[in-house]
């Protein structure tokens, strides 16, 4: 395992909170209590409920759009992280506002259902319903339905990857781009015994195993697991929207993310891969003021800009 990036070296003092049966409920409750900060003066921020999947509850969405943006503009549908068992749109609000402001787009964040109470495919179906709502209401939202990107971090990025596959296979909306920030793609990683965890932080193999089991509702590595829940299992990656994948060398998901990026390219899907030396899972959260994080965020912003403003 490479040493921690020099700008992230203080992470050696960070604890890695265990996510397991005895703690997941508490962590889920704590994240459910997160609340949005004051809306910046230059932003319109709305919280709405939109129609959910058939037979399921409505889906809560958080909409961010700069007041200065007039007329039709692109959009980004964003899914938060949390291993499918915790998390809340509020945790990514600062980043979503930055995407909206820097790019002049509408960002819609989804509060999807969480495991284990709502195992797969509940969260993914919520994301699919939210995407359909954006497309169906594009005129009212001043969104260009042909320029909608999907993205997320960690489990949310795994949902985005699964959503791209689901849209293709159902003949549903056609996202223009997928932005996958250290995505959680492969339950079989939880079975590995050869992982060096020396420089890992914030997300451990034990937490990964619990989270995947809770999300899938069955043992990890089982036969017949949906390739929409674990996108790395899908045998056919052709015809998907272009992608950007970013991950650190010290992230538990590094190998599965690199493998997925290579498979996308082999399937004819353009995929930019950014690997950050010495970065661990979720390094953006604790070290937002460092240059390594700022550069990582700039790459995401520029990847979205190139995809959503191809004539720019």
Reported as a single tens digit per residue, the pLDDT across 195-236 is: 888 888 888 999 999 999 999 999 999 999 999 999 999 999
The CATH code belonging to domain 6-33+41-308 is 3.40.50.1820
Would you state the structure tokens that stand for residue 308, as one six-digit string? 């959503």
Distance CA 153, CA 67 (A): 26
Would you say 109 and 92 are in contact if contact means Cβ atoms under 8 Å apart? yes
Would you say 243 and 183 are in contact if contact means Cβ atoms under 8 Å apart? no
Verify whether residue 281 is a known catalytic residue: yes
- Ranges assigned E (strand) in 28-171: 43-50, 59-66, 73-79, 106-111, 143-153
Verify whether residue 207 is a known catalytic residue: no
The residue that leads in pLDDT, 310 or 23, is 310
Give me the pLDDT at residue 34, please.
Answer: 67
Share of the chain above pLDDT 70, in %: 95
**Catalytic site residue from 88, 92, 118, 154:** 154
Share of the chain above pLDDT 90, in %: 82
Verify whether residue 154 is a known catalytic residue: yes
CA 283, distance to chain mean position in Å, is: 14
Between 9-23, 234-248, 280-294, the lowest mean confidence (pLDDT) is in 9-23
**Catalytic site residue from 92, 126, 186, 251:** 251
């Amino acid at each position: 395992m490479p040493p921690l990036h020099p700008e992230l070296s203080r992470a050696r003092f960070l604890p890695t909170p265990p996510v397991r049966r005895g703690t997941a409920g508490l962590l889920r409750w704590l994240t459910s209590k997160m609340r949005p900060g004051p809306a910046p003066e230059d932003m319109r921020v709305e919280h709405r409920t939109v129609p959910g999947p058939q037979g399921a509850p409505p889906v809560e969405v958080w909409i961010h759009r700069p007041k200065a943006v007039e007329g039709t503009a692109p959009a980004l549908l964003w899914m938060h992280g949390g291993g499918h068992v915790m998390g809340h749109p509020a945790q990514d609000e600062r980043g979503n506002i930055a995407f909206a402001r820097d790019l002049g787009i509408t960002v819609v964040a989804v509060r999807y259902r969480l495991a284990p109470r709502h195992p797969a495919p509940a969260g993914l179906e919520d994301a699919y319903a939210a995407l359909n709502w954006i497309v169906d209401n594009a005129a009212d939202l001043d969104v260009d339905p042909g320029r909608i990107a999907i993205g997320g971090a960690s489990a949310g990025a795994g949902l985005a990857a699964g959503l791209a596959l689901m849209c293709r296979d159902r003949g549903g909306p056609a996202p223009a781009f997928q932005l996958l920030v250290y995505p959680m793609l492969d339950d079989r990683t939880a079975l590995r015994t050869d992982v060096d965890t020396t420089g890992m932080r914030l997300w451990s193999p034990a937490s990964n195993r619990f989270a995947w089991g809770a999300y899938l509702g069955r043992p990890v590595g089982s036969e017949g697991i949906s390739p929409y829940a674990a996108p790395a299992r899908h045998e056919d990656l052709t015809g998907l929207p272009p992608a950007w994948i970013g991950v650190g060398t010290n992230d538990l998901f590094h190998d599965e993310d690199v493998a997925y990026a290579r498979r996308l390219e082999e399937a004819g899907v353009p995929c930019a891969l950014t690997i950050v030396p010495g970065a661990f899972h979720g390094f953006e959260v604790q070290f937002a003021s460092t240059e390594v994080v700022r550069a990582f965020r700039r790459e995401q912003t520029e990847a979205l800009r190139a995809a959503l403003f191809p004539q720019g």
